[in-house]
Amino acid sequence: MTYRIAVVDDDVHIRNIVEGYLQSSGYRTIGLRSTEEALDLLEIDPPDLWIIDVMLPGEDGYSLCKRIRTSTEIPIVMISALTEDEDRITGIDLGADDFMSKPFSPKELVARVNRLMHRHELLTRIGSTRPLEEKHSSLDRSRVPNEERLRFNEDDNSIVWRGVHVALTAKEFSLLQYLFQYCNQACSREDIITQIWGSDSKNGDHRALDQVVKRLRKKLSGLTIDTVWGHGYRLRLGESKQ
């Protein structure tokens, strides 16, 4: 399958460079100059992934990211000349799956896109309407009540929790899956960040992690993700809280 990627940037030079590298890597691309054009595409024929510059004419990239997230969990990579951690956190908090600061390496951008698309393909192959606990041996299934069992939904980065279908972003899905792998065990912040954000993670990713946990807690009412002070986080299933 050839994925189609929308590159939203009003700088035609940067847009052409990014599109060229993506096309050389086998992707189809569509270049857009503004939030208005992007919203038209979102309504008519959404891409498989968005690359969005923060500084756009009219509504900015943050606004576009937020509006995309109201209707779909399509992966989003944000790029920006803004370099403060607060800018990175804002993008992640609005639902972006990755954030790169200008100037950036087009090759690195393609590598990050490859990682997101590879993960999508992997989830599709896993297929997975099976309970998550069937995939991880660290959890004693007999201790997990039926109403607490998590289930993947095929293809769309979503889960079923307590009988309710919940759409997640790629980062939310990855974090939940990682915590489940070590269910009822404390996972360190460093290990989580390396696993979810990669070895090139930055200090701002510690705050981004907190934001993703916050969003999971909000979306999944009744699912317990404990904060282990001074260490990290723990997903609790099949255990009563101490």
Instruction: Please answer whether residues 95 and 169 qualify as being in contact, where contact means their C-beta atoms are separated by less than 8 angstroms.
Output: yes
Instruction: Please answer whether residues 49 and 17 qualify as being in contact, where contact means their C-beta atoms are separated by less than 8 angstroms.
Output: no
Which pLDDT belongs to residue 92?
83
User: Considering the domain boundaries, does residue 23 fall inside one?
Assistant: yes
- On whether both 106 and 205 belong to a single domain, the answer is no
Instruction: Please answer whether residues 159 and 153 qualify as being in contact, where contact means their C-beta atoms are separated by less than 8 angstroms.
Output: yes
- On whether both 72 and 157 belong to a single domain, the answer is no
Instruction: Please answer whether residues 165 and 195 qualify as being in contact, where contact means their C-beta atoms are separated by less than 8 angstroms.
Output: no
Which pLDDT belongs to residue 202?
59
Which pLDDT belongs to residue 106?
93
- On whether both 216 and 113 belong to a single domain, the answer is no
Quick check: pTM over 0.95? no
Q: Please, which residues have CB within 8 angstroms of residue 159's CB and are 6 or more apart in sequence?
A: 132, 150, 151, 152, 153, 165, 166, 168, 173, 176, 220
- Look at residues 123, 139, 160 and tell me which one is the last residue of a structural domain: 123
Which pLDDT belongs to residue 153?
65
Which pLDDT belongs to residue 131?
43
Which pLDDT belongs to residue 79?
93
Provide the pLDDT confidence category of residue 140 given band limits of 50, 70 and 90: very low
Domain that holds residue 48: 4-123
Pairing of strands 158-161, 150-153: antiparallel
Mean pLDDT of the chain: 81
- On whether both 145 and 207 belong to a single domain, the answer is yes
In this predicted structure, the answer to whether residue 104 has a pLDDT above a threshold of 70 is: yes
Provide the residue type at 69 as one letter: R
Alpha helices in the chain (DSSP H): 12-24, 35-44, 61-69, 85-93, 106-126, 170-181, 189-197, 204-219
- On whether both 78 and 161 belong to a single domain, the answer is no
CATH number of the CATH domain containing 79: 3.40.50.2300
- Look at residues 104, 123, 142 and tell me which one is the last residue of a structural domain: 123
- On whether both 117 and 139 belong to a single domain, the answer is no
Cα–Cα separations (whole angstroms), residue 221 to 162, 190, 216: 9, 26, 9
pLDDT by residue (tens digit) across 105-126?
999 999 989 988 876 665 545 4
Q: Which residues pair with 225 in a beta bridge?
A: 235
Which pLDDT belongs to residue 141?
44
Please state which of the ranges 1-15, 108-122, 144-158, 223-237 shows the lowest mean pLDDT: 144-158
User: Considering the domain boundaries, does residue 189 fall inside one?
Assistant: yes
